[in-house]
Amino acid sequence: MELKPSPFAPTDYPALDAIGGFRLGVAATGVKYKGRNDLLIVEMAEGTSVAGVYTKSKCPSAPVDWCKAHLGGGSARALVVNASNANAFTGSAGEKTVSAVAAAAAEACGGKASEIFMASTGVIGEPLDPAPITSLFGTLFDPEKADASFMDAARAIMTTDTFVKVATASVDIDGTTVAIHGIAKGSGMIAPDMATMLGFVFTDAPIASEALQGLLSKHVDTSFNAITVDSDTSTSDTLMVFASGAAKGRGCPEIEVADDPRLEAFSDALSALLQDLAKMVVRDGEGASKFLEITISGAEDNAAAKRVALAVANSPLVKTAAAGEDANWGRVVAAVGKAGEMADRDKLAIWFGPYRLAVDGMRDAEYSEELASDYMKNGEIEIRADLGVGEGTATVWTCDLTHGYITINGDYRS
CA distances in angstroms from 405 to 51, 320, 347, listed in the order given: 33, 11, 35
- Pairing mode, if any, of strands 176-185 and 165-173? antiparallel
Per CB under 8 A, does 386 bind a copy of itself?
A: no
DSSP 3-state assignment of 90? coil
Minimum CB separation from a copy of itself for residue 411, in Å? 5
Per CB under 8 A, does 345 bind a copy of itself?
A: yes
- Active-site positions read 196
Per-residue mark of binding to a copy of itself, 33-72 (x: CB under 8 A): ----------------------xxxxxx------------
Per CB under 8 A, does 226 bind a copy of itself?
A: no
Residue 121 assigned to a binding site:
no
Q: Which residue blocks in 72-183 are alpha helix, DSSP H?
A: 91-109, 131-134, 137-140, 150-156
Minimum CB separation from a copy of itself for residue 12, in Å? 32
Q: Count Cβ atoms within 10 A of the Cβ of residue 13 and give its class: 0-12 exposed, 13-18 middle, 19 or more buried.
A: middle
CB neighbourhood size of 96 (10 A): 15
> Using CA atoms, how far apart are residues 197 and 57, in angstroms rounded to an integer?
13
Per CB under 8 A, does 314 bind a copy of itself?
A: yes
Residue of the chain from 326, 366, 380, 391 that contacts a copy of itself (CB under 8 A):
326
Per-residue mark of binding to a copy of itself, 282-301 (x: CB under 8 A): --------------------
Per CB under 8 A, does 328 bind a copy of itself?
A: yes
Per CB under 8 A, does 317 bind a copy of itself?
A: yes
Task: Considering only residues 176 through 195, tell me which ones interact with a copy of itself, judged by CB under 8 A.
Answer: 189-192, 194
Choose between 195 and 211: whose C-beta lies nearer to a copy of itself.
195
Quote the radius of gyration of the chain (alpha carbons, Å): 22
Angle at 100 between CA 94 and CA 105, to 5 degrees: 130
Residue 409 assigned to a binding site:
yes
Per CB under 8 A, does 279 bind a copy of itself?
A: no
Per CB under 8 A, does 401 bind a copy of itself?
A: yes
Residue 85 assigned to a binding site:
no
Q: Is the dihedral of CA 9, 200, 158, 281 positive or negative?
A: negative
> Using CA atoms, how far apart are residues 180 and 273, in angstroms rounded to an integer?
8
**Number of residues binding to a copy of itself, judged by CB under 8 A:** 73
Residue type, 4: K
Task: Considering only residues 68 through 107, tell me which ones interact with a copy of itself, judged by CB under 8 A.
Answer: 88-93
Q: Residues marked as binding for substrate?
A: 159, 185, 196, 286, 409, 414
